[in-house]
Amino acid sequence: MEYFVFKLNLEPSVLDAYNYNTHIEHVVGIVIPDSFKKIFSEFIDINERKVKFLDYIDLSEVKTSIQYKDMLKLNETMMKMYNEVVANYNIGKGINYTPKYLEQRDKLNKSIEDIVYIFPFLKGAFELKDNIFPIETFSKIKMAVTYIRKARKIESYVNNFPKNILNSEFIYDKSYELIYISANNKTTKEAENYIEVLEEKINRFSSVSNIGRISINPIYEEFSFEGMYSEITIEIVYPNGHPARDRSKAIKEANAAREKRIFEASKEEKINAFKLNEYFKEDAEKGYVKSATSRGKSIIKSVIKKVIFQEE
């Protein structure tokens, strides 16, 4: 089968934590795939080098589960009890957490743990902002708010889960930090769109995986910029592996995850994008070019690398 080739890149803080330069094989071959196994529900070891990850999410199964329904009921009661405490405080009765209140909090916490254990992908809900259950920043009444928010986040996550990331399938190469996407019945654009979705999905679990936030970029076989523009913005990610020439020294020294370079033409002049090719070609071939745009539109005219191998 034929596959598009993409490069997985970690952020500098994660690379430093694992002493990447001296433990590359451990990070690439063990840490990354083990982190994927926390995120994706199924995986198949194709051979010593390659692992196929699959994830099929049935939201109806979550919504109809006893655990999910119990969590919603418990949280509804918890919010009512919380609002009663707030109301009493506002009329001068002080803050009073009854034994029943504390018992309800513990039940809610247990229900959240149960639902996440059964449906691990729900951990991604905890990446949502806390304003899903806002309270006054100066409020002294915070008992149970953490669990109320968690339950509300799970509910919102389930109700608004993007339909286009319900199913995922890709192959990870444990030798080279590469991700392969089947080219069968996929155009280049469809493969790029799929990678955006996959990157988003992995990053939803950045707080529970061991690899933090990642980026996945194409490895280009043929690469060029074309056209005349008044402004060009090129975004490059922190280089995992060997950086191209001296370009990456600044981003490495700054310990930055990404670097944006903006080229502006002189007044009433245009930049010939083709003249920038030689400066970014090597980065593109190694999977470090995230984007190249002019006024938000991509100016990359390239061919993503493909490989052929059989799933043994």
pLDDT digits (tens, 9 = 90+) for 122-178: 887 887 777 778 776 557 888 999 999 999 999 998 998 766 556 668 999 999 899
- Mean of per-residue pLDDT scores for the chain: 86
pLDDT at position 244 is: 43
Contact 154, 115 (CB under 8 A): yes
- Smallest Cα–Cα separation from 223: which of 169, 122, 302? 302
List alpha helices for the chain, DSSP H.
12-17, 24-26, 32-39, 59-63, 66-90, 99-118, 145-159, 188-203, 249-253, 277-286
Phi, psi of 101 (to 5 degrees): -65, -45
Average pLDDT for 300-309 = 89
Contact 134, 79 (CB under 8 A): no
pLDDT at position 119 is: 84
| Amino acid at residue number 103 | E
Residue in the block written with tokens 């008044």: 230
pLDDT in tens, 30-68: 999 999 988 887 899 999 999 999 877 788 889 999 999
- Which residue would you say has higher pLDDT here, 190 or 165? 190
pLDDT value at 273 more than 60: yes
- Smallest Cα–Cα separation from 56: which of 211, 159, 167, 163? 167
pLDDT at position 297 is: 87
pLDDT at position 41 is: 73
Sorting pLDDT into bands at 50, 70 and 90, what band is 272? Answer: very high
pTM for the predicted model, two decimal places:
0.65
pLDDT at position 253 is: 62
Residue in the block written with tokens 């982190």: 35
In angstroms, the CA 38 to CA 33 distance is 9
**98 Cβ partners below 8 Å, 6+ apart?**
none
pLDDT in tens, 226-259: 899 999 999 888 766 554 444 455 566 666 677 8
